[in-house]
Chain A
């Protein structure tokens, strides 16, 4: 009795099974959604879980003596669930009366959301106690509104260091798209400048998640199955190479001035102090800067947001004579016996170039010329050196290039070479007068203060170039400090003998009578330095001083500039002296 299905029977069999199964599904869905839909609706309203992200504690920032520079303090932020808000539009008024925000502002905040309607939106960051207690008081009338603990930055020391530390602010669209996949979310705080920016991935930690159960009105009932919660992981701590005492002193010395100070350890490139004035208070950024305050800051003509130490591009003035001297000495164009007569001015064809001392320096050799900063000597030397040699040695010393300090936004300065000048003035459109100007650090040449600090360090170290850095160590999860690696390399093309001569000249600047930088003299330590007084089209001269100490095996290198401050010798050198004095008086841990 063996029988089989014919083809059309098989088709019918399969289709039969198909239709039967669909009938079953139809009945089931009808029963669930149509017959008992309202029951399930009630159930789903009654019984909800909300996912809340928990912000991790940001890593702390210490100075080199382990003082806490940047800390976290608790704060409370107010959140709203857009879904509940959609259901109860009258809530805007209630929230607006509690928080003092206008209705439009609240609605804008909510409209910004592009994710689900159920993801909480932050309305107020860092609520004050009054608002907090009001929210608590009106809790029953505020479905879907809740507050949550969030750590916020605080700066316990009486030091600003605002440009080194940097401020935090809410992440913007560009950053979100650039950092896609690294876990940043809308509304997150992110470092915008300084160490906070460069080391954001180290400092920020990992967000956690909490699941809470809420009732029909969106009010928290309790924790939901704690097993699914994910604890946030705190960010890693960072130790800066900055010394807060030096930083404090430098900030005081530059008070009410426009300028920059960079102090570093020439042995390993650790930045001991980095001040840019005017600066700004970081504290208001922590609680979310108001638009007006931000406009005041960013619109200020003195540019407090600019980190002058690495971003200001200024003419170096006489400090740059050291490069001309080095070029000439290295290429054997001059030796210490050669003397040039300075009569107070220098004639190039029909053009007159003055010395800063109108009565002239008389006959000077190269060491005298450095000591007394004789312009006439360097005009002539510069002509002898020529632009190409000058550019070559400037490049060897990394002018016109970033120092690679671990901060964002560094400027390169401007090193005008033949091609640049040809482009700017046309081929043959620039004369020897241009070279004469460049040889005393004027003209198109622009440098940053940190480049000048590195010049002082390199001369002090006789050709060793340590890459500057502000972060000394990063603490890992197990609590061990991992030192940042120190990168030191030799400068090409300049021999030790040249450095030794430069040092001799720089020592005379500070320590011998007639030296322009005697203001930087301190007892017991042989300070070497060079002053600069850079003319500029924006008013008074910029006062420069660069230097290092002690002469042999230096422990400290300084570069400072005071914009429109006046002469380098009388304004800048004494400030450097005070910084060095503090450095050598107090045992700074190196």
Chain B
């Protein structure tokens, strides 16, 4: 038994660089969390901090389990996990009370199936795409990946949670590009999306159509394809204002305020302004651990979850922020490198899937704290308070490090 254990370590070249980056980020996360919670008289320090610690240990056990599992296991169970995730999403939609259906309660702990769904969908996509003939993914091969993504997205939009839903598109696009989608197909996906956005303004919409039409002429695609594309875009453009009205009013507000169309200093923008003041007032060196007056005084309800980065910015300043950013950057490029060196196409796709989820959430979350991206409620990997998010991050890291450890295997 001991010998076998020894062999596991010998045969698995663990990426200790990645491991130490991970550890660094988790420690920073707990420091920021401590600072926020200790400054609030209202949240019970011991329970919240302890809860997060328990989640961390749980996540770490899962991380180790994934790290030392044979890789084929994930390939084989990918579709099964996907099915489970969809069932969980259905359960949370129908069997939870209140207006917002996001959590399944397990005693004192709450668990977000949408976090699990990200991983499961990513694995299912990786399995499907890895079985396609590499390097020439065609238009018709995209239907299945698209529907794999659409099902959880619709369920999550119903929750409603636009932020999480958007992650799925980031996964899809990154992974199909990695799987070898052609440039033409990429454009074919991007054009309808553009049409959705342009639909809000008549003159922009007309301009968009003129460009689209001439584009079709230049690329000399057949006339019926031109008509199909233009028709689709036309309907999407008409649909988008209608679709807008189905958003929750707080989501509309967030987007409008972000776009600068609407200003409301005490409303949704309040958080963004406060977060920006917190980060800005941190200056180069920061105010020092537990000395951030914004962090400690301002009553930001989501500071320990979505706005944890503003704590870092205020208390550790530009230097602290840059350190953390650089660690993240190293981590992400390391993950991309892992994807490249993996000889198994499934492994490569999983690594890319992991980096797409982590990096997308990272940019959206950090961008949101400095007012670059609308407030979407996406947690920051490693740092944000929240059990499901932390466990999910550790699961992704486990998968990626497993790929990296077994990268020379076919």
Indicate the size class of the contact surface on chain B.
Answer: 35 or more
CB distance from B342 to the nearest CB of A (A): 11
Q: Which of A14, A180, A211, A228 contacts B352 (CB 8 A)?
A: A14
Interface residue ranges of A430-459 to B (CB < 8 Å): none
**A29's contact among B45, B322, B359, by CB below 8 Å, is which?**
B322
The answer to whether B321 touches A116, judged by C-beta atoms less than 8 angstroms apart, is no
Set of chain B residues within 8 Å of A38, measured between Cβ atoms: 283
Pair A40/B277 contact, Cβ less than 8 Å: yes
With a cutoff of 8 Å between Cβ atoms, the chain A residues found around residue B322 in the complex are 26, 29
Q: In the complex the two chains form, is B332's CB within 8 Å of A1's CB? A: no
A133 to B42, CA, bound (A): 31
Q: A1-45 vs B: 1/0 string, CB under 8 Å?
A: 111111110110111001101101110111011101111110111
A33 touches B279 (CB 8 A): yes
Q: At the interface, yes or no: B73 with Cβ under 8 Å from chain A? A: no
Q: How far is the CB of A11 from chain B (nearest CB, A)?
A: 5
Q: Which residues B72-99 have CB closer than 8 A to chain A? A: none
Is the Cβ of B336 less than 8 Å from the Cβ of A51?
Answer: no
Evaluate contact between B278 and A37: CB separation under 8 angstroms.
no
Residues of B within 8 A of A117 (CB): 39, 290-291, 296
Q: How far does the Cβ of B362 sit from chain A's closest Cβ, in whole Å?
A: 9
Please indicate the chain B residues that have their CB under 8 angstroms from the CB of A34 in the complex. Answer: 283-284, 318
Q: When A26-B325, A32-B370, A115-B38 are in contact, do A49 and B298 touch as well, CB less than 8 Å?
A: yes
The CA-CA distance from A225 to B299 in the complex, in Å, is: 11
Query: Would A18 and B280 count as touching, CB distance under 8 A?
Result: no
Bound CA span A44–B181, Å: 49
Give the number of chain A interface residues (Cβ < 8 Å).
56
Q: Binary interface profile of B, 241-254, with partner A (CB < 8 Å = 1, else 0)? A: 00000000000000
B339 contacts which chain A residues (CB < 8 A)?
11
CA distance A32 to B370 in the complex (A): 8
Name the A residues within 8 Å of B363 (CB-CB): 21, 25
CB of B136 within 8 Å of the partner chain: yes
Residues of B within 8 A of A33 (CB): 279-280, 282-284, 313, 317-318, 321
Contact with B along A215-243 (1 / 0, CB 8 A): 00000000001001000000000000000
Q: Judging by beta carbons under 8 Å apart, are A29 and B313 in contact?
A: yes
Q: Are B39 and A25 in contact (CB under 8 A)?
A: no
Q: Which of B161-207 contact A (CB under 8 A)?
A: 174, 177-178, 180-184
**Chain A residues within 8 Å of B318, by CB:** 29-30, 33-34, 37
Contact A4 B180 (CB under 8 A): yes
Among the listed A8, A28, A181, which residue makes an inter-chain contact with B340, where contact means beta carbons less than 8 Å apart?
Answer: A8
B1-42 interface bits toward A, Cβ cutoff 8 Å, 1 = contact, 0 = none: 000000000000000000000000000000000010011111
- The answer to whether B144 has its CB under 8 Å from any CB of chain A is no
Q: How far is the CB of A149 from the nearest CB of chain B, in Å?
A: 17
Tell me the bound Cα distance from A180 to B44 in angstroms: 9
Determine whether the beta carbon of B279 is less than 8 Å from that of A32.
yes
Chain B positions within 8 Å of A29 at CB level:
279, 313, 318, 321-322, 325, 370
> Across the two chains, which residue of chain A brings its CB closest to B296?
A118
B39 touches A44 (CB 8 A): no
- Tell me if B308 is interfacial: C-beta within 8 Å of chain A: no
Contact of B135 among A4, A22, A44 (CB under 8 A): A4
Q: List 25 A-B contacts (CB under 8 A).
A: A4-B137, A14-B174, A14-B177, A14-B336, A18-B332, A22-B325, A24-B372, A25-B367, A26-B322, A29-B321, A32-B276, A33-B279, A33-B282, A33-B313, A40-B279, A43-B280, A44-B277, A45-B281, A45-B293, A48-B298, A114-B38, A116-B39, A119-B39, A181-B46, A211-B299
A-B pairs, top 8 by smallest CB distance, nearest first, are A40-B280, A116-B39, A37-B283, A44-B281, A118-B296, A33-B318, A40-B281, A41-B281
Given contact pairs A4-B136, A25-B325, A40-B280, a sample of 13 additional A-B residue pairs in the complex whose CB atoms are under 8 Å apart: A14-B355, A28-B367, A30-B318, A32-B313, A33-B318, A40-B281, A44-B293, A48-B297, A50-B297, A116-B38, A118-B293, A118-B296, A181-B47
Which residues of B come within 8 Å of A, CB atoms? 35, 38-42, 44-47, 135-137, 174, 177-178, 180-184, 219, 266, 276-284, 290-291, 293-294, 296-299, 313, 317-318, 321-322, 325, 329, 332-333, 336-337, 339-340, 352, 355, 359, 363, 366-367, 370, 372
